[in-house]
Amino acid sequence: MSQLANIYTYLITNRKHLRQSWRRDYEDIVTRVQSLRTELAKNISYDLNSLEIYNSISFNNKEDLFWRLFANKSNGVSSNGRSNLSGNSRSTVINDSDFLTALKNLIVDPSFKNHNEFEFVWSEKIGQNNPVLTNRVTASCTLEVSSTVDSGKFNQVFDWLIRKKLIPPYSGSNTWYEKNKFVVSELRKVLSIEKDYDEFWCNIFYWEMYVNLANPFSLKKQLVKYGAPGTGKTYKAKEISKLQFDIWKVEHPANTETYDSVHKVVQFHPSYSYEDFMEGLRPVLDVNNQAQLQLVNGIFKTMCISAGKWEVEVATLIKGNKLEKWEQLTVNDLLPFKDFLTKSYWDFVFNVTNKSTKVIEIIPPYFIIIDEINRAELSRVFGELMYCLEYRGVNGAIETQYNQLNTEATGMIELGGAYKFFVPHNLYIIGTMNTVDRSVESFDFALRRRFRWQEVKPSIGLLTYHLQAKNPAWVGLAENLRKLNEAIRKEPLLGKDYCIGHAYLMDLGFASNTTYKEVKKLVWEDSILSLLEEYVRGTGRENEIIETFAKSFGV
């Protein structure tokens, strides 16, 4: 199996449940456009003003066509990014003959020529370029281009695929359309024989490579997943780290590292300290079974030492031989020093086929997942690490609070006669936190700006997929949860942070023959009601609010 096929297995085949609702919406919009194309072909005189071309299979009318193609939100292909078709512009073009002709030509024949002409007419009539929207229209008309309509993000994946030699070199024109047709064609040559393959999944796969590979963690190596309780934040943190490692392992199978050896999970709590996380004095039994205070490394420092061993060894070489910075070093740069880098964990680095590959892309990623990251006193737990989180690598090395007690056994790197500490470039820090927890204030601004913040929302689509697979008779629970969360969002005393996560309605332990009505009542009483009562306690409107929520959930 090729490397590209392996990546497809990890990103699509094994994770279809995460994108099933998108796949369904994507097929819906493309099928509607195809139906409209068929109707337009029946009579050469038909245009987009002809009532005969619209029906329930395609679009209800011209207004419905415009709403679905130019929606200022996701339209089934992709979101609209930061572009939108304003009300005034929409009113102008919906009856403009030139605009309608260009759009009809694109629907009938989504060629490069008609794509360009539609872009030109758009710019002329609306007075500005909106490539995300025009690309999205073209992607609704043909599956020969991917669903990644933002050219910047598209090019990031395209360049990554070329650099990794996963697709052949490209020599065509530097346009979103032409490059898109080329890469989609190349992907299909490899993936068409794969399990669960179809053209929709292939195009979605391109976006998944942007999210997970070409742009991991959006270039931020410190990430906090936040959201309402039960949205699967910790599960997603583990899943994304496992996914990143598995895909790295596909590319470097000779490495002996396992996922268990490169990831750790820790849960913060109010009494968690710097000494637990970084380093501190702890009683240790000596040879005489007597307790002695010794410096012991915490979980984070231990992870950093393990992840940074390549960087530590190269640090002295860089200083003495005027080599490139660690982030820029290639295998070719280190080949002259192979006799000095003899430990076994260097073997797979020097054995890579492409010696121009950066070393930082070859060594394994490490992950520390911090559950409930906001429940500890963060300034005390992190201490001087706040500096290291911003300035990674040996150049950002600092002396820690217990610096004088470090030895070769506990120290990370010796610089200038003292042991120092740094956060390696290949260590990812993923925190999770509930937004309803009042301790969120523990994240001061200095810490907040060092992390990328990613909201995890309740997923009705994921819950629907799960219920359909487990017990289709219960699938109505997904709609019940949607209506309940809508009521919670509208409640002035609560809001979106207090929504109920889909995890509360997954993996239900009831007998399979339990009726939908019974399951709904049991879930409400066992899991949801007590949580909502805690939310509204002390508001003076407890009974009123709970009654409203109960009606919304359908009990």
What φ, ψ does residue 292 adopt, rounded to 5°?
A: -130, 140
Contact 137, 69 (CB under 8 A): yes
Report which secondary-structure segment, H or E, holds 246: helix 233-251
Contact 283, 292 (CB under 8 A): yes
Report which secondary-structure segment, H or E, holds 225: strand 222-227
Contact 465, 20 (CB under 8 A): yes
Given this model, what pLDDT does residue 443 score? Answer: 67
Q: How far apart are CA 517 and CA 257, in angstroms?
A: 49
The number of CA neighbours under 13 Å toward the Cβ of 19 is 22
Rounded (5°) CA angle 328-333-335: 145
Q: How far apart are CA 116 and CA 529, in angstroms?
A: 56
For the chain, which residues score pLDDT lower than 50? 217-219
Block residue for tokens 């009579």: 43
Contact 317, 324 (CB under 8 A): no
Encoded tokens for 8: 């497809």
Encoded tokens for 292: 């002695």
Given this model, what pLDDT does residue 435 score? Answer: 82
Given this model, what pLDDT does residue 81 score? Answer: 79
The tens digit of pLDDT for each residue in 109-137 reads 999 999 999 999 999 999 888 999 999 99
Contact 304, 422 (CB under 8 A): yes
Q: How far apart are CA 488 and CA 494, in angstroms?
A: 6
Report which of 7, 18, 14 is spatially closest to residue 465, judged by C-alpha positions. Answer: 18
Q: Does domain 217-456 have CATH number 3.40.50.300?
A: yes
Report which of 285, 302, 283, 301 is spatially closest to residue 293, judged by C-alpha positions. Answer: 283
**What one-character DSSP code corresponds to residue 324?**
P
C-alpha distance from residue 265 to each of 288, 302, 372, 431 (Å)? 34, 13, 11, 10
Given this model, what pLDDT does residue 218 score? Answer: 43
- Taking the C-alpha atoms of 213, 218, 221 and 227 in order, what is their torsion angle to the nearest 10 degrees? -110
Given this model, what pLDDT does residue 439 score? Answer: 52
Model confidence, pTM: 0.82
Given this model, what pLDDT does residue 452 score? Answer: 85
Cross-strand bridge partners of residue 413: 420
End-to-end, the C-alpha distance of the chain in Å comes to 51
